[in-house]
Amino acid sequence: MSRVEVLAKADAVGKQLIDEARAAAARVQSEETRKATAAAEQIVLRANEAAARDRDRMLAELKHEVGRLVVQTTATVTGKILTPEDHRRLAEETAKQLAS
């Protein structure tokens, strides 16, 4: 085999190795991009779930506080001491009004 033939063969093998390396790099990049996208989607999903839980918790706290303020205001305005039954009834009525 002549020196030119050896160099030509080495050049062909080198080009083939480079092509294979590029293909492997493209596969790895594609897989890593897919993994990163899936991880990002999970983060967004968990954040949305946490936001929904916080919203529900804050809404429940707000309803409770509004109910307490209605009972307190009613007792102050009417000048009477409210019974536990009055408290319950006012809290229920307030909750119904807030739900509307």
First-last CA distance in the chain: 92
Q: Which of 84, 90, 54 is nearest to 69 (CA)?
A: 90
Q: Residue 82 in contact with residue 71, Cβ under 8 Å? A: yes
96 vs 24, higher pLDDT: 24
Tens-place pLDDT, residues 30-77: 999 999 999 999 999 999 999 999 999 998 898 888 888 888 888 888
Tens-place pLDDT, residues 71-93: 888 888 887 787 888 878 888 88
Listed in order, strand segments (DSSP E) in 1-100 are: none
3-state secondary structure of 10: helix
- pTM over 0.85? The answer is no
